[in-house]
Chain A
Amino acid sequence: MARQIGEIILDLKNISLRFGGVKALTDISFNVREHEIRAIIGPNGAGKSSMLNVINGVYHPQEGEIIFRGEHRKDMDTHEAAAAGFARTFQNIALFKGMSVLDNLMTGRNLKMKSNFLQHALWWGPARREELEHRRKVEEVIDFLEIEHIRKTPVGRLPYGLQKRVELGRALAAEPSILLLDEPMAGMNVEEKQDMCRFILDVNDQFGTTIVLIEHDMGVVMDISDRVVVLDYGKKIGDGEPDEVKNNPEVIAAYLGTQH
């Protein structure tokens, strides 16, 4: 790997999450280092998406600590998370189907826009300048993801693979320090997966973005991640470099299935 993996910037300690009587996550602890690619894997229903939702502020854990860049942020809400530098994609594409690709990406920069609605209505100086400046940045993302040809197309009309790419674009447009990806390659064919892998690696390489991703494709996970966390039934059963985790008997048992 070309970049230097840095210090721990995200530390999760003893996270437990319950929905009524159902325990989604039990006593999970792991950390994420700056500039690394951290994968979260595990069988279906293990609680991976819930974990991502906790990091992002969508769910608030009943127990545990979240420490981001030295600050305790357990009850952070989604808005604060976004302001702090988190961006994410979703398992079931959460794009704004009524808007074009360009507009979707521009919404990613919403937090950075300072002008108010009156300035927008008058299309006056600061609002205009801001819009153009952000448009420039978004075009960089469009270039990077090679989606120039569809920038004005309404997102709802795009094929699945391109929609997933646009969703990645929206997350990138926010210039995040941590990118949370929930199954970014789900439902893709081999070529699309390769493209997506390339983009993810490039993001990590060129911009130094820390990436936490959930993925089912073991080949991908082993290839691109620096470290892996394995979840099963809401508990952590493995944590370390891909090769270590691959040979961990508990992990193998979880995937192949043994008697519990």
Chain B
Amino acid sequence: MIYRETGQFKTSYAADQQIFPIRQDRIGIGLLLAVAFLVVPLTAGNYWFNAILIPFLIFALAALGLNILTGYAGQLSLGSAAFMAVGAYAAYNFQVRVDGMPVLLSFILAGLTAAGVGILFGLPSLRIKGFYLAVATLAAQFFIVWCLTKFPYLSNNSSSGVISVPNVEILGFTFDTPQSRYLLVLTIVSVLALLAKNMVRSTTGRAWMAVRDMDVAAEVIGIRLMRTKLLAFAVSSFYCGIAGALYAFCYLGSVEPDGFSLDLSFKILFMIIVGGVGSVLGSFLGAAFILLLPIFLDISLPALAELLHLPFDSATVSHIQLMVFGALIMFFLIVEPHGLARLWQIGKEKLRLWPFPH
């Protein structure tokens, strides 16, 4: 009843190509943005900002980056955390070593640095595919983290590579409250998400998907494989790099190379599998899910154990967490390979018919 397309005919191709062609969707996203930008900063508590909203946005950005590379362009990568690390450390170096460097510029340069590294480690994709490429990205993951730990120059000569970042200051305004940091991250992530959505809908996105689906055919119709693949690596690493910079500057405040380990790369991969590969919305849904799950388990498992009178300790929680992650991945791949995003789509389709059965 409510969610209907009746009467919404498109009379131009431009109208047909909007991101949100259905009016109800436009209203929905408008409300969401309004809530995110206006309501939340006034009502949410610090715990929410620091532990949930800010990391959610940052991980969603990283997941978006990985989704571009793996979901749209089909190049499997297990090294996304390493590119986040490059972004974090590059931003730190630019900010700390260059006097009066605007923070936003540091972020952008950090993203570009990550993009450069991404292109370098993406070169093998021209010759190798599938899980061979995954192993190559593992090389990036281990090597980059090792470099950041062992080359003192990169962490401004601190021991074992730990860096503490200064407060973010833009045009004299210091972002030192959770609300202000949240709004900064929200703005950056929203803008980048919009750019990503535009890219994947365009010729660029189609070229990526063509390479993913059948690269031999893509080549035959004139798509340049090298450029397309390397562009995917570059854009993806740019996004992960910015996410890494935000991770250091607006979330943790202090990072070390080991904080960007293989574990984090897997987490980000899980986000896109659960959320939906090849979907911008999926990156957000997956990030939310993977981020909230441990919190949910932390709360519910002790309660459950008490109810069932079972022995319990914190190690058990982490073991069960691993099991649940693993089981979820397998579940989603078996039951709904296109993840939560597809479930959302199916939900919307059912909503269009509601209250009628068909």
Contact = CB atoms under 8 A, between A and B. Distances in A.
Asked whether any CB of A lies within 8 Å of a CB of B in the complex, the reply is: yes
B150 interface: no
B69 to A, nearest CB: 14
A3 interface: no
B227 to A, nearest CB: 10
A117 B220 contact: no
A117 B219 contact: no
A83 interface: yes
B79 to A, nearest CB: 22
Contact of A103 (B198, B209, B219, B231): B209
B274 interface: no
Given A97-B213, A132-B13, A58 B220 contact: yes
Nearest to B19: A123
A37 interface: no
A128 B14 CA distance: 9
Contact of A110 (B14, B203, B216): B203
B212 interface: yes
A106 B206 contact: yes
Nearest to B220: A78
A146 B221 CA distance: 23
Contact of B223 (A110, A128, A131): A110
A2 interface: no
Q: What is the predominant secondary structure among interface residues of chain B facing chain A? A: helix
B316 to A, nearest CB: 41
A45 interface: no
A79 interface: yes
A218 interface: no
Interface string A140-167: 0000000000000000000000000000
A174 B213 contact: no
Contacts of A106: 203, 206
Contacts of A117: 199, 202, 204, 231, 235
Contacts, number: 95
A79 B217 contact: no
B222 interface: yes
B195 interface: yes
Interface string B217-259: 1111111100000010001000000000000000000000000
Contacts of A22: none
A187 B191 CA distance: 48
A108 B14 CA distance: 20
B220 A88 contact: yes
A122 interface: yes
Nearest to B277: A98
Contacts of B210: 96, 99, 107, 110
B203 A96 contact: no
Contacts of B213: 95-99
A107 B221 contact: yes
Interface residues of A, number: 37
A170 interface: yes
Contact of A108 (B196, B205, B214, B221): B221
A94 B222 contact: no
Interface in B263-281: 278
B212 A107 contact: no
Contacts of A170: 221
A122 B195 contact: yes
Interface in A114-140: 115, 117, 120-123, 127-128, 131-132, 135-136, 139
A79 B219 contact: yes
Contacts of B207: 107, 110
A98 B209 contact: yes
Contacts of A174: 221-222
Contacts of A58: 220
A9 interface: no
B220 A98 contact: no
- Which of A95, A110, A128 is the most central at the interface, judged by chain B CB atoms within 10 Å of its CB? A110
Given A98-B209, A127-B202, 5 more contacts: A79-B222, A87-B221, A95-B217, A132-B13, A174-B221
12 contacts: A56-B220, A58-B220, A78-B219, A96-B209, A96-B214, A96-B217, A107-B207, A110-B203, A111-B222, A136-B13, A139-B13, A174-B221
Interface of A: 56, 58, 78-79, 82-83, 87-88, 90, 94-99, 103, 106-108, 110-111, 113, 115, 117, 120-123, 127-128, 131-132, 135-136, 139, 170, 174
Minimum-distance CB pairs A-B, first 8: A82-B222, A94-B217, A120-B202, A96-B213, A121-B195, A111-B222, A117-B204, A123-B198
